[in-house]
Structure 1
Amino acid sequence: MADWTALADAELVAAAVSGDRAAFRALLERHYDRVHRLAWQLTGSRADADDVTQDVCCTLVEKIGSFRGEAKFTTWLCGIVYNACRDLRRRKRSFGAFTERLAVLAGLSRGPDGRDLYDAMWLKSAIARLPPAYREALALVVGQELSHAEAAAILGVAESTISWRLHEVRRTLGAQAGATD
């Protein structure tokens, strides 16, 4: 059995594309927490992050062969997570909040637990007033430690746009912090 932990992502991807299930599993294990963390940062909900992470893992089986190595694997993977979160938002809008409340009332799904409520309050206190474009840039650069160029590639904007958005985040949050002093 190979020591997958010693291999770089590119080597794991090559082995996974060749059909090596153990390499694919090692790749998923290495990046699972990153996928979940980004999904949680973008959705603000553990339940949604769980759903997105599961979708990304399933999608990765199909898409791993399309990874061309033009960007780092982690950048490419963050792009998949970002798109999955965007798709989730679209689906949620189409079904509406009514169906979610109905499912909880009917006992078909659980409502948010105490951790979700606490985490959501904490998260919202820091970023609630930020426009979505600012939150997305913040999640990719700060939360996922991607470069401005990598975040720009994922979001389909210029690198200078990412820099400007992060400047605006600092300015806005600084103003909010100053208002509460």
Structure 2
Amino acid sequence: MSDLSGPSDVELAAAAASGDRAAFEALLRRHYDRIHGLAWQWTGSRADADDIAQDVCCTLVEKIGGFRGEAKFTTWLCGITVNACRDLRRRRRTFGGFTEKLAVLAGLARGPDGRDLHDAIWLKSAIARMKPAYRDAAVLVAGQQLSHAEAAEILGVAESTVSWRMHEVRRMLSGDGEA
């Protein structure tokens, strides 16, 4: 949530782009929970969300100068977070994902610690069988409470497409259909 008593996100982003470390820190403090929450909803894993949130914070150092204020800062930030989540998915499908699993099996790395299981059951059970397009729309609109327009901008589709996907998600969750 934005801190209404301080500078706006746009003002902080402009100052951070100019090298103001305090402004950058204020943006991170203001939006870290959103970054982490979105990553957690997207991946279903606290550990992955921790990694993605850290990556997004590091990426922001490089990308903050690219924020032009054409969209809300939170929409722009969610786009960066979604891209980081997608990147993680792609990496997991590569040989690197295989070697990570092999390292756990060989005892060279720690596996998931189980904290996520209970916390993520509600999320995974409801959306696990959905096609990615529906799942992505649901996470952004229902999970992050973005507007259909903001979700459409992040997903690179028309607003009407997001609206239709959310209609289908509601239909699927009510038991009237499957994806």
Q: TM-score, normalization: structure 2?
A: 0.91
Once residues 84 and 97 of structure 2 are traced to their aligned partners in structure 1, the CA distance between those partners, rounded to angstroms, is: 19
| Residue 110 of structure 1, CA deviation | 2.1
Residues 12-38 of structure 1 deviation map (CA, whole Å, 9 limit, x = unaligned): 111111111011011011101100000
**Cα RMSD, aligned residues only:** 2.0
What does 1:41-120 align with in structure 2 at a 5 Å threshold? 41-95=41-95, 97-120=97-120
Residues 46-103 of structure 1 deviation map (CA, whole Å, 9 limit, x = unaligned): 1111111111111100000010000000000000001111111111101265323322
Q: Which residue of 1 aligns with 2:138?
A: 138
Query: Contact 2:38–2:139 (CA<8 Å) still a contact in 1?
Result: yes
Q: Which residue of 2 aligns with 1:156?
A: 156
Query: Contact 1:39–1:85 (CA<8 Å) still a contact in 2?
Result: yes
Query: Contact 2:91–2:97 (CA<8 Å) still a contact in 1?
Result: no
> Where does the alignment leave 5 or more consecutive residues of structure 1 unmatched?
none
Q: Report which of the two has the higher share of helix.
A: 1
Residues 101-145 of structure 1 deviation map (CA, whole Å, 9 limit, x = unaligned): 322233333222232122233322111111111111111111111
1:71 maps to a residue whose letter is A
Query: Contact 2:92–2:98 (CA<8 Å) still a contact in 1?
Result: no
Deviates more, 1:57-66 or 1:97-106: 97-106
| Residue 4 of structure 1, CA deviation | 10
Aligned identity (percent) is 77
Q: TM-score, normalization: structure 1?
A: 0.90
Query: Contact 1:4–1:23 (CA<8 Å) still a contact in 2?
Result: no
Once residues 109 and 33 of structure 1 are traced to their aligned partners in structure 2, the CA distance between those partners, rounded to angstroms, is: 27
Aligned residues: 175
> Where does the alignment leave 5 or more consecutive residues of structure 2 unmatched?
none
Query: Contact 2:42–2:136 (CA<8 Å) still a contact in 1?
Result: yes
1:126 maps to a residue whose letter is A
Q: Which residue of 2 aligns with 1:122?
A: 122
Once residues 98 and 63 of structure 1 are traced to their aligned partners in structure 2, the CA distance between those partners, rounded to angstroms, is: 30
Query: Contact 1:4–1:26 (CA<8 Å) still a contact in 2?
Result: no
Once residues 129 and 103 of structure 2 are traced to their aligned partners in structure 1, the CA distance between those partners, rounded to angstroms, is: 29
Once residues 171 and 52 of structure 2 are traced to their aligned partners in structure 1, the CA distance between those partners, rounded to angstroms, is: 31
